[in-house]
Amino acid sequence: MTTTRPRETRLQPDRSSGFTVDDLTVGPFAHGFGTTADGHPFAFRTVRSTLFVEIYRHTPDLAVPGPEDVVAAADTPVTDIDLDDERSVTALVRDLLPRAVPAPGTSAGEPTIVRALLGRLGAVIDGR
């Protein structure tokens, strides 16, 4: 049995669609991250035979997004995709981003309950 070692790749921006994949690891557990055409960070990962994409809120001071920062998500089967080919994985992610469904409670400008609570606690601590 031949084992496939994951390869990490640094890709160039896709000028036609405007999104960028900043990091991509191909193989049976393909994953990576990048930026959508409108500037939102996203991450993707393969679990079993499904590729999951999460798009996060655009916050410049956010170093590592958490589950509360997800604004949209999508998934698709990878049974017909060559996960060892970086172009196939990139194309799948590119095609999946526009199909992402908004996460519950994340309409434009609407803070999540956690963000609203932390904002209020921060205001109390700062004495505002």
Residue 38: inside a domain = yes
Q: What is the pLDDT of residue 113?
A: 63
Q: What is the pLDDT of residue 115?
A: 62
* Alpha carbons 120 and 3: distance in angstroms, whole number: 51
* Alpha carbons 39 and 12: distance in angstroms, whole number: 16
CB 68 within 8 A of CB 81: no
Q: What is the pLDDT of residue 106?
A: 55
Q: What is the pLDDT of residue 105?
A: 64
Q: What is the pLDDT of residue 61?
A: 75
Residue 39: inside a domain = yes
Q: What is the pLDDT of residue 122?
A: 73
Residue 1: inside a domain = no
- Domain span including residue 92: 7-126
- Give Cα 96 distance to the centre of its chain: 11
**How many structural domains is the chain composed of?**
1
pLDDT by residue for the chain (128 residues), tens only, comes to 445 555 554 444 444 567 899 999 999 999 999 999 988 999 999 999 999 999 998 877 777 888 888 999 999 999 999 999 999 999 999 999 999 999 876 555 555 566 666 777 777 787 76
Question: b/e map of 3-33 (b: 16 or more CB within 10 Å)?
Answer: eeeeeeeebeebeeeebbbeebbbbeebbbb
Would the pTM count as exceeding 0.85? no
